[in-house]
Amino acid sequence: MSRLVVVSNRVGDPRKPSAGGLAVAVGETLASAGGLWFGWSGQVVDERAPGEGELHQQRVGRFTLATVDLSRQDHDSYYLGYSNQALWPAFHYRLDLADFERAHFEGYKRVNRMFAAKLASLLRPDDVIWVHDYHLIPLAAELRMLGCTQRIGFFLHIPLPPPPILAAIPGHEGLMRWFFAYDVVGVQTQMDLEHFVRFIKDEARARPLGGDRYQAYERTLCARSFPIGIDVEEFQHLARSREALETYATLKEEYAKRRLLVGVDRLDYSKGLPQRFRAFRELLANYPENRMSATLIQIASPTRENVHAYEDIRHELEGLSGEINGNYGELDWMPVRYIHRTWARRRLAGLYRNARVALVTPLRDGMNLVAKEFIAVQDAEDPGVLVLSRFAGAAEQLREALLVNPYDVETTAQVIQRALRMPLAERRERHAALYERVRREDVHAWRRAFLAALNGEQNADADQEAAVGHA
Known catalytic residues? Answer: 157, 365
Q: Which is nearer to ligand ADP, 188 or 417 (CB)?
A: 188
Q: Do the Cβ atoms of 321 and 336 come closer than 8 Å?
A: yes
d(CA 285, CA 289): 10
How far apart, in Å, are the Cα atoms of 442 and each of 16, 31, 119, 172, 399? Answer: 20, 19, 30, 33, 16
Nearer to ligand ADP by C-beta: 40 or 180? 40
User: Which of 215, 342 has the CB closer to ligand ADP?
Assistant: 342
Per CB under 6 A, 375 contacts ligand ADP: no
Q: Give the dihedral of Cα atoms 82, 86, 92, 94; nearest 10 deg.
A: 160
Of these, 3, 219, 266, 418, which contacts ligand ADP (CB under 6 A)? 266
| 76 in contact with ligand ADP (CB under 6 A) | no
Q: Please, are residues 144 and 470 in contact by the beta-carbon 8 Å criterion? A: no
| Residue 343 in contact with ligand ADP, rule: CB under 6 A | yes
Dihedral, CA atoms, 216, 167, 179, 117, nearest 10 degrees? 130
Q: What share of the chain is helix, strand, coil (3-state, %, to 5)?
A: 50, 20, 30
**Candidates 8-16, 339-347, 405-413, 430-438; binding stretch for ligand ADP (CB under 6 A):** 339-347
Residue placing its CB nearer to ligand ADP in the complex, 181 or 299 = 299
Surface-to-core class of residue 39, CB atoms within 10 Å of its CB (0-12 exposed, 13-18 middle, 19+ buried):
buried
Tell whether residue 43 is a contact of ligand ADP (CB under 6 A).
no
Region binding ligand ADP by CB under 6 A among candidate stretches 159-167, 272-280, 309-317, 341-349: 341-349
- What H or E segment, with its residue span, contains residue 338? strand 336-339
Q: Which residue is nearest to ligand ADP (CB)?
A: 301
Q: Is residue 345 part of the contact set for ligand ADP (CB under 6 A)? A: yes
Question: Does 349 contact ligand ADP by CB under 6 A?
Answer: no
User: In angstroms, what is the minimal distance from the CB of 304 to ligand ADP?
Assistant: 11
Find the binder of ligand ADP among 370, 398, 416, 443 (CB under 6 A): 370
Interaction of residue 342 with ligand ADP, rule CB under 6 A: yes
By DSSP bridging, strand 55-60 and strand 63-71 are: antiparallel
Pattern of binders to ligand ADP over 285-304, x per CB under 6 A? --------------xxx---
CB-CB contact of 185 with 214 (8 Å)? no
In the list 279, 367, 415, 451, the residue contacting ligand ADP (rule: CB under 6 A) is 367
140 binds ligand ADP (CB under 6 A): no
> With b meaning 16 or more CB within 10 Å and e meaning fewer, what string describes 150-163?
bbbbbbbbbbbbeb
| Shortest reach from residue 367's CB to ligand ADP, in Å | 5
Q: What is the C-alpha separation between 442 and 227, in angstroms, rounded? A: 9
Residues 6+ apart with CB under 8 A from 79: 9, 40, 70, 111, 135
Of residues 202-241, those binding ligand ADP (CB under 6 A): none
| Identity of the amino acid at 318 | E
Residue 62 phi/psi, 5-degree rounding, is: -90, 0
Strand ranges in 217-275 using DSSP code E only, listed in sequence order: 219-225, 259-266
- Residue 355 near ligand ADP by CB under 6 A: no
Stretch that binds ligand ADP, among 32-40, 177-185, 281-289, 361-369 (CB under 6 A): 361-369
Answer for the pair 406, 361: CB distance below 8 angstroms, yes or no: yes
Closer by beta carbon to ligand ADP, 57 or else 303: 303
CB-wise, 150 or 298, nearer to ligand ADP?
A: 298
**Closest C-alpha among 363, 406, 394, 395 to residue 97:** 363
Q: By CB under 6 A, tell whether 313 contacts ligand ADP.
A: no
CB closer to ligand ADP out of 119 and 392? 392
Under rule CB under 6 A, residue 93 binds ligand ADP: no
Nearer to ligand ADP, 188 or 290 (CB): 188
- Residues near ligand ADP, by CB under 6 A: 20-21, 264-266, 299-301, 342-343, 345, 348, 367-370, 373
